[in-house]
Amino acid sequence: MLHLLPVTPETLLALGLIAVYLFDSMHFLRIGEAVVVTRHARLHGISFGSGFEFGGRRPFLPNPLTPFWPELRLDWVNGASGEEAARNCSDEMRVRASALRWVGMFSGACTASIVIGAPVALFAGAQWVFIACVALCLACELAAAGLLLRARKQLELGFGQWLSLALIGLVCLPCAGNLARAAAKARCWTLPAYQIAQLQLASFEAGALRTQVREAVLRARRFVDEQSPEFHGLSEQLRLLGEGS
């Protein structure tokens, strides 16, 4: 293996670019938090994180080859809300994903140039190709930042938020590929747990989505005292999930 991949500064830099991008792409979800995966500005799926935890948080790594389809944050709570809450949430999420479509396209170009093209150039010893990949990534990051600034009000981003997102992408080029994801995470929706099962997700039938939400609530209930209000609230969510089945 060492003969195939010699340990040189170029190799370490190439691996570092990939590692930084992957780490920056990850979500670390606490109990009561989920991410909704999008495809073509439509809601595609949902994840409550992996089956193991780090410091009380569950890691979730989205598809690293699709940074142009950002994930949306969702908190689920024990309270109740209006009957139209899930539909309104779905509509607002689709609007946000649609507003980030072109930002995501340039973010994808950043990923292709700095996370795929640049490491390949480093492994091959093609210095000028590496420089061209860096320059292309910078140009795409500037274009994405400009598009994000244009959509700032629609996305409800403050100027300070936009500036910090843009600067992070310029200072850390592998992070530039996640600009659309970072902008999508700037807002978090809140729904009662049982209403998550009513979201309109393309990759889930209603029964399968209800089962996944129920499993997440059951996992969360194991971490709270049986005499606490939180336990009774989670039990009520499970009852409502059962009634909707």
pLDDT digit string (tens) for 95-136? 999 999 999 999 999 999 999 999 999 999 999 999 999 999
Q: What would the mean pLDDT of 4-13 be, rounded to a whole number?
A: 83
User: Could you tell me if residue 196 is inside a domain?
Assistant: no
- Give me the chain's average pLDDT, please: 90
Residue 204 lies in a domain: no
* pLDDT confidence band for 85 (50 / 70 / 90): confident
- Residue 223 located in a structural domain: no
The number of domains in the chain is 1
Residue 99 lies inside a defined structural domain of this protein = yes
Evaluate if residue 208 carries a pLDDT over 50.
yes
Closest CA to 99 of 65, 64, 136, 149: 149
Confidence class for position 245, pLDDT limits 50, 70, 90 = very low
Phi, psi of 5, deg, nearest 5: -135, 80
Res 2: pLDDT:
44
pLDDT score, position 105: 97
On the question of pLDDT at 225 being above 90, the answer is no
Containing domain of residue 21, as a range? Answer: 9-190
pLDDT at 243 exceeding the cut of 60: no
CB 227 within 8 A of CB 115: no
Tell which wins on pLDDT, 205 or 63: 63
Taking the chain, what is the end-to-end CA distance rounded to the nearest angstrom? 53
Domain assignment of residue 96, yes or no: yes
Q: Which of 6-10, 68-72, 91-95, 106-110 is least confident?
A: 6-10
Q: Is residue 3 part of a domain?
A: no
Confidence class of residue 223 from pLDDT cuts 50, 70 and 90? confident
Give the helix/strand (H/E) hosting 212.
helix 206-221
Whether 152 is covered by a domain: the verdict is yes
Inter-CA distances, 189 with 86, 154, 243, Å = 10, 16, 24
| Residue 203: both structure tokens together | 């990759």
DSSP code of residue 57: B
Selection from 165-169, 211-215, 230-234 with the highest mean pLDDT: 165-169
- Which of 97-101, 213-217, 226-230 holds the top average pLDDT? 97-101
pLDDT at position 97: 95
Grade residue 7 by pLDDT with cuts at 50, 70 and 90: confident
Residue 241 lies in a domain: no
Which residues, other chains included, contact 17 with Cβ-Cβ below 8 Å and sequence gap of 6+?
114, 115, 118, 119, 173, 174
- Give, in order, the Cα–Cα distances in Å from 217 to each of 106, 169, 196, 220: 37, 36, 11, 5
For the ranges 121-125, 134-138, 157-161, 230-234, which has the lowest average pLDDT? 230-234
